Structure 1
Amino acid sequence: MNDYVLFITMAIAFLITVLISPVFIPFLRRLKFGQSIREEGPQSHQKKSGTPTMGGLMVLFSVSITTLIVASKFNPDPMTFEVFLLLFVLIGYGLIGFLDDFIKVVMKRNLGLTSKQKMLAQLIIAIVVYIILRQHGFPTYVDIPLTDIRFDLGIGYAVLILVMLVGASNAVNLTDGLDGLLAGTAAVAFGAFAIIAWEGNIQFEIAVFALAIVGALLGFLVFNAHPAKVFMGDTGSLALGGAIAIVAILTKLEILLVIIGGVFVIETLSVIIQVISFKTTGKRVFKMSPLHHHYELKGWSEWRVVTSFWMLGLIFAVLGIYIEVWLG
């Protein structure tokens, strides 16, 4: 398969997103699907109240259509085992996010789904994923990067899948707090996995799926970059988190996800550290968590914070590619 497929995949996803956005965004506005801003957040964010949310629906639509279109060109039946799992996780976690967003903006319950409801739904999808993988004889080993060490986790692999899918979806969700922050960092991370999958001659459907997400996110950034005309919402952030986890699982790069998704890991750790510190000492380590808000309150402009995190994400992505492709 020629490298031009890389660019065609991204181009299709980019164009679909860019073309439907001018229609979809006003539609969201007419439905009054506007974002409500938490009072405890940075005061500079209050002006964003009412900006249309649930924009992640455009990303899900673009990625799904693009993946099926490109996959069908190389396979009479585009819905292979890999494609099914990838889209199942993307749409499944997207549906959880959609319900959360819907409750917030339509039913006017600012917290959306309860933490228990959200966790239960995430776990159910993760369990289904494990069952499907098990039925297809998916290997349960984990490779340690830069070594020849391989651990066969057996039934313990089920626990790893649950942790990865639930953990990644929540970590990515935490990162969605500034205009363009998640779209940019996620595009870089998925781009890294696409390169590794392509160079490693792993099933091309995985690379196509990852590249479709890159293209869709770049198209979304046209409208989500500061000042944002639309927000992704939990619809998009939970879907992307689940998607990056299943990509890492199917490519057998479970450990490398921690590196390539380094920005998401740091954002999550900042919340954990903040909570532990406040509960044990009554003091806060950061001015506000997740970490991107800390830098906002230190006086950084929103654009400076976003571009800095983009660059950090790029460093992590390059490091992951270097470890797997050049040193692996």
Structure 2
Amino acid sequence: MQARYPILLVSAFVATFVLSKVLLSVAGRSNVAIKPELLGTQAKKQGTPVIGGIAFCLGTLLVTLLDPALMQEGVVFPLLGLLLFALIGLLDDRMKIRSNNGDGLSSLLKLALQISGSLVLLMLLDSQGLLDTRLDIGSFTLELGTAYYAFACMYVLYFVNAVNITDGLDALAAGSAMPLLVLLLLLARRSGIIASPALIGSLLAFLVFNRKPAKYFMGDCGSHALGAYIAVSALVMGCEAVLFFASGLFLVELATSLIQIISIRRFGRKVFTIAPLHHAYELKGVAEGRIVSFFTLTSWAFALCSLLISR
């Protein structure tokens, strides 16, 4: 069992690397349009295939199916979350191909699918007795009762959309999510829950192809899957508050987008030049590589602080 982690990690890396090579060899240029407001900084990325999410989701799936601990709750349910939301994201990616402005599913339809997916996962977790309605916040415990289920649904939606919004620069979303995945493994080990490092291995291979200049993007397929995996893992392990704090970078990214949307619709003006935050820095002339490095290091800092203050 001690060799399980390195075997799964390396196997997932190799599987995703090979799958990436195969997919890139058969994928043509993407027909997804760059959003008009991003043409000034993103025009050179036009045509980059949106297949990275497919690659690391399939790589994670193939390796995890061979994991002797597959049916452990810390392995199988995060995998189900990854697959279910990968399909929702993939549908959005396919719709973007038909759009001339980079838009996919309507906001309401996407939200309805996300809520439906969240409820399906919560029903599965609840049927197995894996949901604890108590919320641990530092040294305090808050009993939410039935309100926990609404909280858990919002929790999944938060991570799915926060990772999705953060996915806007080469290696940004994957690099920023890596600290949270490592933190989940450490928390699982501390609490005696069996988890899997397969997604970490797959993301490391993904980053080989997604670092600037990216050979492919993860798309909504990948960002939805990644966010759902993190959220479901936290729900299963009962470390919701710790992971929420660790997601500070994603929270800032999501908050800037929400503030911008509310300000435009309510007051008819922008708070930021553009949202989310990473694009605002990009428009100010900050090099993409510097933005990604700073944001990734910030995410590692949040994860480290969360580990230190967790019980």
**Structure 1 residue aligned with 2:65:** 68
Task: Provide the rounded CA distance (Å) in 2 between the counterparts of 1:111 and 1:295.
Answer: 23
1:166-205 equivalences in 2 (<5 Å): 166-202=157-193, 204=194
1:90-101 equivalences in 2 (<5 Å): 90-101=82-93
Shift in Å at residue 34 of structure 1? Answer: 4.2
Task: Provide the rounded CA distance (Å) in 1 between the counterparts of 2:21 and 2:138.
Answer: 46
User: Following TM superposition, where does structure 1 have runs of at least 4 consecutive aligned residues deviating by more than 6 angstroms?
Assistant: none
The counterpart of 2:288, out of the listed 294, 302, 318, is: 302
Note if contact 2:183-2:303 (Cα within 8 Å) is conserved in structure 1: yes
Could you tell me which runs of 5 or more consecutive residues in structure 1 were left unpaired when the two chains were aligned.
none
**Structure 1 residue aligned with 2:203:** 217
Deviation sequence 1:280-320 (CA, Å, 0-9, x none):
44443322110001111111000000001010011011111
Task: Provide the rounded CA distance (Å) in 1 between the counterparts of 2:251 and 2:135.
Answer: 20
Of residues 118-127 and 172-181 in structure 1, the stretch that sits farther from structure 2 once superposed is 118-127
The counterpart of 1:256, out of the listed 227, 239, 242, is: 242
- What value does the CA root-mean-square deviation take over the aligned residues? 1.8
1:37-116 equivalences in 2 (<5 Å): 37-70=34-67, 72=68, 75=69, 78-105=70-97, 110-116=102-108
**Structure 2 residue aligned with 1:24:** 23
**Structure 2 residue aligned with 1:13:** 12
SS at match of 1:226: coil
Check 1:170–1:97 CA distance in 2 against 1; reply closer, same or farther (3 A cut). same
SS at match of 1:113: coil
1:126-137 equivalences in 2 (<5 Å): 126-137=118-129
Task: Provide the rounded CA distance (Å) in 2 between the counterparts of 1:69 and 1:320.
Answer: 32
Note if contact 2:17-2:206 (Cα within 8 Å) is conserved in structure 1: yes
Q: Determine what percentage of the aligned residue pairs are the same residue.
A: 35
**Structure 2 residue aligned with 1:141:** 133
Deviation sequence 1:258-286 (CA, Å, 0-9, x none):
21111111100111222233344444332
Note if contact 1:68-1:79 (Cα within 8 Å) is conserved in structure 2: no
Note if contact 2:131-2:235 (Cα within 8 Å) is conserved in structure 1: no
Note if contact 2:74-2:233 (Cα within 8 Å) is conserved in structure 1: no
Shift in Å at residue 131 of structure 1? Answer: 1.6
Shift in Å at residue 238 of structure 1? Answer: 0.7
Shift in Å at residue 193 of structure 1? Answer: 1.1
Task: Provide the rounded CA distance (Å) in 2 between the counterparts of 1:291 and 1:280.
Answer: 20
Task: Provide the rounded CA distance (Å) in 2 between the counterparts of 1:154 and 1:37.
Answer: 45
SS at match of 1:41: helix
Note if contact 2:49-2:215 (Cα within 8 Å) is conserved in structure 1: yes
Task: Provide the rounded CA distance (Å) in 1 between the counterparts of 2:39 and 2:163.
Answer: 20
**Structure 1 letter corresponding to 2:258:** I
Of residues 275-284 and 251-260 in structure 1, the stretch that sits farther from structure 2 once superposed is 275-284
Shift in Å at residue 125 of structure 1? Answer: 1.4
Of residues 107-116 and 152-161 in structure 1, the stretch that sits farther from structure 2 once superposed is 107-116
- TM-score normalised per structure 1: 0.89
The counterpart of 1:234, out of the listed 210, 214, 220, is: 220
Task: Provide the rounded CA distance (Å) in 2 between the counterparts of 1:263 and 1:240.
Answer: 15
Note if contact 2:33-2:101 (Cα within 8 Å) is conserved in structure 1: no
Deviation sequence 1:120-178 (CA, Å, 0-9, x none):
1111111112222222223433333331x222222212101210111211111000000
Note if contact 1:92-1:239 (Cα within 8 Å) is conserved in structure 2: yes
Could you tell me which runs of 5 or more consecutive residues in structure 2 were left unpaired when the two chains were aligned.
none
**Structure 2 letter corresponding to 1:165:** V
1:116-127 equivalences in 2 (<5 Å): 116-127=108-119
Task: Provide the rounded CA distance (Å) in 2 between the counterparts of 1:83 and 1:311.
Answer: 27
Shift in Å at residue 66 of structure 1? Answer: 1.9
- TM-score normalised per structure 2: 0.94
Shift in Å at residue 83 of structure 1? Answer: 3.5
Deviation sequence 1:29-66 (CA, Å, 0-9, x none):
2xx44442111125120111101013200111111122
Task: Provide the rounded CA distance (Å) in 1 between the counterparts of 2:249 and 2:216.
Answer: 22
Task: Provide the rounded CA distance (Å) in 1 between the counterparts of 2:23 and 2:235.
Answer: 33
Task: Provide the rounded CA distance (Å) in 2 between the counterparts of 1:309 and 1:184.
Answer: 9
Check 1:45–1:143 CA distance in 2 against 1; reply closer, same or farther (3 A cut). same
Task: Provide the rounded CA distance (Å) in 2 between the counterparts of 1:13 and 1:201.
Answer: 23
Task: Provide the rounded CA distance (Å) in 1 between the counterparts of 2:97 and 2:280.
Answer: 26
Of residues 176-185 and 38-47 in structure 1, the stretch that sits farther from structure 2 once superposed is 38-47
Note if contact 1:165-1:241 (Cα within 8 Å) is conserved in structure 2: yes
